[in-house]
Amino acid sequence: MAKEIITKKQVPASDRTMCDATAQMLEKARRDGVIIDLDRGYDMKPCPIGVQSACCKHCFMGPCRLNPRDPYKKVGVCGATIDTIMSRNFGRMVAAGSASHNDHGMNILELFKGIIDGKVKDFKIKNTFKLEELAKSIGIDIEDKEILEVAKELYTELEKTFSNVEGEMPFTKRVPKETLEQWRREGVVPRGAMREIMELMSRTHIGCDQDYNNLSKQITRTALADGWGGSMIATELSDIMFGTPSPTLADVNMGVLKEDHVNIIVHGHEPAMFEAMLAGVNDKFFIDAAKEKGAKGINLVGMCCSGAEMMSRHGVPHAGSFGSTEAVIVTGAVDAMVVDIQCIKQGLASVAKCYDTYLITTNPRAHIEGATHIEFEETNPGKCIDDVLSKAIARFGTRSMPVEIPQITQSGIHGFSHEYIEYMLGGVYRGSYTPLNDNIINGRIRGVAGVVGCTNPKVKQDSIHIELVKELIKNDVLVLQTGCSQISLAKAGFLVPEAACLAGDGLAEVCETVGMPPVLGLGSCVDNTRILIAASAMVKAGGLGNTIADLPVAGCAPEWMSEKAIAIGQYFVASGVYTVFGIGLPIVKGTKYYDYLFNGMEKQGFGKWGTASDPHEIAQMMIAHIDKKRKQLGIDKARERTLVDMSDRRQLTA
Ligand code: NFS
């Protein structure tokens, strides 16, 4: 086994993660002399100027460093103020995040085209009902048309999401009317993603847009081109090609690995390779080959976002979130970890080497030095999948080191698509968001929160996610989840109907009536667009205002780390949602740009940003916002009435 140098200062593993399985593996890694991200994260001391975004390195006259404690004392060599510098930096994070999601969305659209053209034979259009509904939602007339014809028209229309140089992106037709009108007034309706990202990169170049107010418009437009563009395409077309999720029971955490099986983990973001792998592991030829090597079978599990999608669609077990991808390899039980794009840490390569695990990259966009690259081609998936399976089976046959799998799993229900939420609440013949709105208006449900996003080794893994969600449901806030946050709560046992006992009386009553958990898992990070569609449906159902900004809703990414998370945050804020980020944001307090993000956007009719580190403080900020919206809607009194319990009633009548 290759050894690495152990970290100097060792904090107990249980201080670095709430996840007992991950803590067990962190301890084992330390015993084995292997450094993983959870220790690297705590050992890293970030630059105090960079962490607040008070430095600019967009040209080589600098890098220019301003003092975050006295931000207006100095300007950059070109004269850039702290507000210009911070908005440029923030804008480039949004551009990168939006580019990632749009690139993913574009790949999914290309796969869809491959099916239509007949070039891709191993995937097909699975959900024709959704295909037609989606086409109708953007104004395509489907009357008397064959499915293939509708699919072709849908492709032609959706392709504009990326290539439009003028006009409005197709999915803006799904935005509530008054929200769209507000975007038009502010000049932020996205045209095409490629144009928006290109323009934002250009405007953040040295000597271009140097008024944070004006630059902010392009930042918003580029973020909206993510949420209402590439991300939404990824979700909707994945549903059409692979199936729309509906509630499915699935196990999470490292106990899903099986010592006597060939274990293959798929980790990444694009569902096509994972779907092909699922077909491959059920191939008798490979099952027999695994048995010949002494295995009882082949065990396929997911991690991170594509894992969350496969869990939602097919109940594939999930081994953990972003913060556990290196730790899981320490089990020694992973015969192959197969990755594609996004959130794949380079550190996996050295950890995999230490445990003789195959780390296999499959996407032409994302190679890793030291990993094995086997390219996945959608026109010939078998080539990659067969090679991966052969390698994983061979590795099982030569496993030489002891295996230690934490025996920890938690069952939960995943796969609440926005279509299913509508059906669950309203029934098959009158599926509708009206019952949800009614329960909000009568106060049983105080409001709705989206709690999403990454884990970050700067803080104890899962801790902010779990404490925050606990407090929200206790206060009758229904929680919608995606991505790594969903996995944090699933591991903690909140994604089961029985968790209703942890909710406030009103929310618990609704959960018990419907038979749903108080925390609904919607899938991967691109599936945050399901929350946008649910919020739009709530506006359209009536009774809760005319724009998304009127709704008693709030969002949070408690342990965020990626540029994609910033893009998501900005598109939620731009869509009208109060969005709080845990850990902190790279913005200097007391500056004009800080004030713009935290107050100014709301005055323009958008949502607004917030930040805090303590989960209870975050919860109170979100609840205060929900209550403010309830008051503005005139439904605050209704809620006060429902809070009167039986003993209060007896006192009132005495
Ligand atoms: Ni989204 Fe964060 Fe990554 Fe998924 Fe997980 S880390 S921004 S939740 S896997 S994309």
> 247-273, pLDDT tens digit by residue?
999 999 999 999 999 999 999 999 999
Confidence of residue 649 (pLDDT cuts 50, 70, 90): very low
Where residue 401 falls among pLDDT bands split at 50, 70, 90?
confident
**Cis-peptide into 317, omega within 30 deg:** no
Helices 528-541 + 231-242 axis angle, to 10: 90
Q: pLDDT tens-digit profile of 268-323?
A: 999 999 999 999 999 999 999 999 999 999 999 999 999 999 999 999 999 999 99
**Interval 533-548 mean pLDDT:** 96
Share of the chain above pLDDT 70, in %: 95
Tens-digit pLDDT profile for residues 543-595: 999 999 999 999 999 999 999 999 999 999 999 999 999 999 999 999 999 99
CA-wise closest residue to 127 among 419, 416, 529, 432 = 419
Q: What is the number of the ligand 1 atom nearest to the C-alpha of 483?
A: 8
What is the residue type of 259? Answer: E
- Tell me: pLDDT of 4 over 70: no
Q: Where are the domains of the chain?
A: 13-43, 64-242, 248-397, 415-633
Percent of the chain with pLDDT over 90: 92
**Topology (CATH level 3) of domain 248-397:** Rossmann fold (3.40.50)
In this prediction, residue 641 carries a pLDDT of 45
Q: Is 352 in the pocket of ligand 1 (CB under 6 A)?
A: no
Dihedral (Cα; 90, 93, 98, 101), 10-degree rounding? -150
For residues 296 and 260, the answer to whether their CB atoms sit within 8 Å is yes
In this prediction the pTM is 0.95
The number of the ligand 1 atom at minimal distance from the alpha carbon of 97 is 7
> CB count, 10 Å around CB of 654?
5
pLDDT (mean) for 73-99: 98
Residue 9 reports pLDDT greater than 80: no
What is the residue-wise DSSP string for 377-392?
Answer: -TT-HHHHHHHHHHHH
Per-residue model confidence (pLDDT) at position 509: 96
Check pocket membership of 564 for ligand 1, CB cut-off 6 A: yes
For residues 18 and 487, what is the distance between their CA atoms, to the nearest angstrom? 12
Is residue 343 within 6 Å of ligand 1 at its C-beta? yes
484 lines ligand 1 (CB under 6 A): yes
Q: Please check whether the two domains, 64-242 and 248-397, share a CATH topology.
A: no
Q: Are the C-beta atoms of residues 94 and 229 closer than 8 Å to each other? A: no
* Beta strands 64-65; 55-56: pairing state: antiparallel
Class of domain 64-242: mainly alpha
Rounded CA gap, 576 and 568, in Å? 13
pLDDT surpassing 70 at residue 66: yes
Reported confidence tier of residue 476, pLDDT bands at 50, 70, 90: very high
Q: Give the whole-angstrom CA distance, residue 229 versus residue 144.
A: 28
pLDDT greater than 60 at residue 67: yes
pLDDT at 215: 98
Q: pLDDT per residue over 637-648, tens digit each?
A: 877 544 445 454
304 Cβ below 6 A of ligand 1: yes
Instruction: Quickly name the fold that domain 415-633 has.
Output: Rossmann fold (3.40.50)
